[in-house]
Each structure stands twice: as C-alpha cells, then as structure tokens.
Chains A and B, each alone.
Chain A
Amino acid sequence: MRARLLNIVLLIALLLGSWEALHHLVGAIAISSPAETVQRLAAMMATDSFWMHARETMWAFAQALAIALSGGLFIGLVLGGYRPAGTVFEPILVAIYSVPKVTLYPVILLIFGLGISAKVAFGAIHGIVPVAMFTMNAVRSLNQTYLRAARSMRLTPGQTALRILVPATLPEIVTGFRVGFSLTLLGSLIGELFASQRGLGFLIMRAVNVYDVKTIFAVTLLIAVVAIIVNSAMLALDQRLHRRL
C-alpha cells in the first residue's frame, strides 16, 4: 500500500515536472506554468460567476448520469436476461458505441433546442451504451449453478435477486458505471464546448476566443483533477468487489 502511494506521488511529480519543463520550453504565451494555473484557478473559484458555471455543468452532468445509469441498467438487464435479444442487439450496441457521437450533436440541438436539456441528452447518449454493454455481459456470464442452487434451496424470487443476482453481477455493473461516468462527463463537456452559453466548457471556449491561456489551463486542470479523483475512487471500489468474488 505504501509502495503504491509513493508510486502515485512520484508519478504526479513526474507529470508536474514535465508540465513545468514544457512551460519553459514553449513559453508562457502558449502554456502557463503549474503555479500560475493553480493561482488563476484559486482566483476564479473565489468569484460567484465561476460557481454559477460550475453548478450548471454539475447539474447537467448529474441528470445525464442518472439517465445513463438507470437506462443502461434497464437495457442491459433485458438484453442479458433474454439471450436472443442480446444476440440481435449486441453488434448494434457496439456500432453505436464506436461512432463519433459528437456528429449527432446538431440533431440533438435541433430536437432539444439550445439549453441545458440538449447537454443532458448528449451526456446521456454517451454513457448509456457502455453501461448497457457491461450489465448485459454481467447477466449473461452469470454462473448457472448459482441459480440452480437457489432453486434447490427454494429461495423466493426476492431472495434470489438479493442473495444471488446482485452479488454476482455487481462487480461488472460497477465497472460499467465507472466507464459510463467518464463518458457521460465527456459528453456533457463536449456539449458545452459547442454552442453553449453557460458551464465550464463554455468558460474554456470563451477563454479560447479571447486567448486567455491561464484560464484555459485552469479550467482544464480542474476538470481533469475531478475526473481522475472520482475515477480512482470508483476503480478502488471496482477492484475490491472483483477480488471478493
């Protein structure tokens, strides 16, 4: 455990070092130094308008995530539980997963109009497919012996679900949630980079238009750090669940 912690500290030091080196190499006009970036971020975080944008992004993201997780879970359970449906739809899910979904954004804008609902819808379509695929595979690869054991012990359907289905499929579903989380965040942020009036993505685009390098780096850093922290927490949970099995 201590070796791993040391490892992570070392990696962060390495990344910060190469960032600082790049800053000196390219110059402050293109890359702001780590210290300047953190200062700018702190200054921005002291203003009300920053939190207005951050709240907008978080609210859109939270709604998108709720839709992606519940929708993906439902689709995955249906397709995993009923094998022919899974066979028919799996390649379709794979195809949807690997298409550049950003090209669908104009369609979403035309349907939902400019505003938060377009961002929510766009985030949700990014996240829903991986959650569905992981859930489907979890249900499919469920060991049939467990179900037979449950039947021979005369477990009620409720008990079967609680004692067998949930513990057996949970690790894979958590993996799906982790991937779904990242992709939903990606989707909501792309939605803000393009045709948006509010949110962190909008802050980046506005900074690009006025060539404010420090702000670009500050907001980008904030998003990256939050994404990495949440992902690491979910990864730890994920690995713990997988080891228990």
Chain B
Amino acid sequence: MSRYGWMRLGVIVAFFASLEAVVRLGVVKRTTMIPPTEMARALVDILAGGQLNDDIVATLATVLVALVGAVTTGFAMGVLLHAMRPARRLLDPLFASYYAVPHFVFYPVFIVLFGMNRVPLVILGYLFAVVAMIINTLNGLDRIPRVLLKVARTNRMGPLATAWYVVLPSTAPYLFTGIKLAVAYSFIGVIAGEFILSGAGIGHQLAFAYDNFDSRTMYGLLLFILTLVTVVNMSLWSYEQKLLRRRSRG
C-alpha cells in the first residue's frame, strides 16, 4: 500500500476510534448511538443468526435485476440514439435535467401502479441507473478517435470487426464509468425505496428497527449496508482509475 493509502487508513481508523470514545465517554447518549465495536458485534450476530437472510437476498436480487436491466437497455439505447441524430437532439434536454428531479417522489406513484411488491423497487432502481448508462455510452461513442475509424476503413474491416477491435476498446472506459454509476444508483434506488415504504429487504428492516427503538439491530444493519456498498463501489472505482491511467498512457 502507498504512503497515502496508509494515511487514508489512519484517517478512517481515527474516525471510528473517536466515535467509539465519544459514545463510551457518554458525550453522545447510548440511545442515540452505540459504539462501533458493538455495531460490529451486532452485525456478526445478525449474519450468524440468519434471521435477516431473506431480506438480504431480496434486496440483492432486486438490485441485480434493476442493474442488469439498466446496463443492457441503457447501452442499447445509447447505441441507438447515437445512430439517430434527431432523436438524440430531441432527448438531450431531458438527459440534462434528468438527475435534477428528485426521483423518489415518484416512488409512491409506482406503488399505486404496481402494488406493494418488488416491482416498484426494481423500477425505481432501474430509472435511477439507466440514464447514467445512456449518457456514458453516448459519451464513449462520441469520443472514438476519428483516425482509428479511418484506419479500420483503410484496412477494409467489416462493421462487426470494427465494433470489436475499434469501437469497444476505445469506449470501454466510458462504458465502465456508466456501469460503475449504475451499480451505485441501483443500490441507492432500491434501498431508499425499501426504507421509505416496503414490506421486505434490508432497507425495510432498517426502518423497522428504527421504529421499534432497536438501535442494536439498526446500527448492525447500517454497518452491513454501508460496508457492502462501499466495498462494491470502491473496487469498481479503483479498477476504473486503472483503466483511465492505461488509456492516458497509450
């Protein structure tokens, strides 16, 4: 690990240590927060007890469906829109202001439409993620160096060969950025939806524990969600940095 990596670890350890101290010394009341070591113990109990396994599986499955849907259709729509200039010009303002609209206010509407089940959650995660994928696909296709396409033509490569040897490698970093955002957004969409109103899932259990003043379970679950999402996102992020560095070198 680099020197900065160690310093970063130090910052994180110091943060949790001070949190521990603040709670143990009674500066913050136990009803407000429990020490991080107890959060970790609660998390271990929850996972070992297995009583929330169904909720964890439900949440992960929902995120996966939303994510796969968003990445595949987002990519396809990006390719189509890139080919159809007028349609793209028409939809451009929509994309520009898409993330300015607080999507979660539509969640109640989806519940009205599809009922209280996993479908509104999939839609919420999907809608949150798909536009990021479309925008990044378009970005990548816009930025293929002209000269590479010309080389492909002088070598008489067919459309398939061009797509495989030229288009895909040069758009890969952008597509990856799209996937990375889609992962983060589908997690946010699904868990937030579960938290606001739903009958199952990690987000629902978190809200349930809060409503029942069960801070031990609540903090255990919170730690679980934050760790899970952070590990997933950070591995994608560091891989992306590697991709970008390779691209700027070559």
A21 at the interface (CB under 8 A from B): no
Which chain A residues lie closer than 8 Å to B90 at the CB level?
Answer: 7, 10-11, 14
Which chain A residues lie closer than 8 Å to B112 at the CB level?
Answer: 30, 208, 211, 213, 216
Contact code string B213-231 (vs A, CB < 8 Å = 1, else 0): 0010010001001100110
Contact at B192–A102, with CB atoms within 8 Å?
yes
Contact at A107–B104, with CB atoms within 8 Å?
no
A100-B187 contact given A7-B93, A14-B90, A88-B8, CB 8 Å threshold:
yes
Which chain A residues lie closer than 8 Å to B107 at the CB level?
Answer: 193
B57 at the interface (CB under 8 A from A): no
Contact at B101–A228, with CB atoms within 8 Å?
yes
Contact at A95–B101, with CB atoms within 8 Å?
no
Q: Name B's interface SS.
A: helix
Contact at A193–B109, with CB atoms within 8 Å?
no
Q: Once the chains are docked, how many angstroms separate the CA of A132 from the CA of B92?
A: 27
Using a CB-CB cutoff of 8 Å, which residues 209-248 of chain B contact chain A? Answer: 209-210, 215, 218, 222, 225-226, 229-230, 233-234, 237-238
| In-complex Cβ contact of A88 among B11, B108, B226 (8 A) | B11
Contact at B207–A185, with CB atoms within 8 Å?
no
A110 at the interface (CB under 8 A from B): yes
Q: Once the chains are docked, how many angstroms separate the CA of A110 from the CA of B31?
A: 8
Contact code string A163-201 (vs B, CB < 8 Å = 1, else 0): 000000000000000010110011001100110000001
Closest to B209 in A: A106
Q: How many residues of B contact A (CB 8 A)?
A: 55
Using a CB-CB cutoff of 8 Å, which residues 31-60 of chain A contact chain B? Answer: 31
Contact at B191–A100, with CB atoms within 8 Å?
yes
Shortest Cβ distance from residue B161 to the other chain A in the assembled complex, whole angstroms: 36
Task: Name the residue in B106, B192, B203, B209 with the highest tally of chain A Cβ atoms < 10 Å from its Cβ.
Answer: B192
| In-complex Cβ contact of A223 among B8, B97, B102 (8 A) | B102
A102-B188 contact given A11-B90, A84-B4, CB 8 Å threshold:
yes
Closest to A109 in B: B210
A110-B233 contact given A31-B113, A100-B187, A194-B196, CB 8 Å threshold:
no
Closest to A222 in B: B105
| In-complex Cβ contact of B12 among A8, A92, A181 (8 A) | A92
Which chain A residues lie closer than 8 Å to B100 at the CB level?
Answer: 181-182, 185, 227-228, 230-231
B33 at the interface (CB under 8 A from A): yes
Q: Once the chains are docked, how many angstroms separate the CA of A94 from the CA of B101?
A: 22
Contact at B195–A105, with CB atoms within 8 Å?
yes
Which chain B residues lie closer than 8 Å to A92 at the CB level?
Answer: 8, 11-12
Contact at B106–A220, with CB atoms within 8 Å?
yes
Closest to A182 in B: B100
Q: Once the chains are docked, how many angstroms separate the CA of A104 from the CA of B192?
A: 10
Which chain A residues lie closer than 8 Å to B233 at the CB level?
Answer: 94-95, 98-99
Which chain A residues lie closer than 8 Å to B91 at the CB level?
Answer: 11
Which chain B residues lie closer than 8 Å to A15 at the CB level?
Answer: 94
- State the B residues within 8 Å of A (CB): 4, 7-8, 11-12, 28, 31-33, 89-94, 96-97, 99-109, 111-113, 184, 187-188, 191-192, 195-197, 203, 206-207, 209-210, 215, 218, 222, 225-226, 229-230, 233-234, 237-238
- 13 residue pairs of the A-B complex, CB under 8 angstroms, read A10-B90, A26-B113, A110-B215, A111-B33, A181-B100, A193-B104, A194-B196, A208-B112, A217-B109, A219-B105, A227-B97, A232-B93, A235-B97
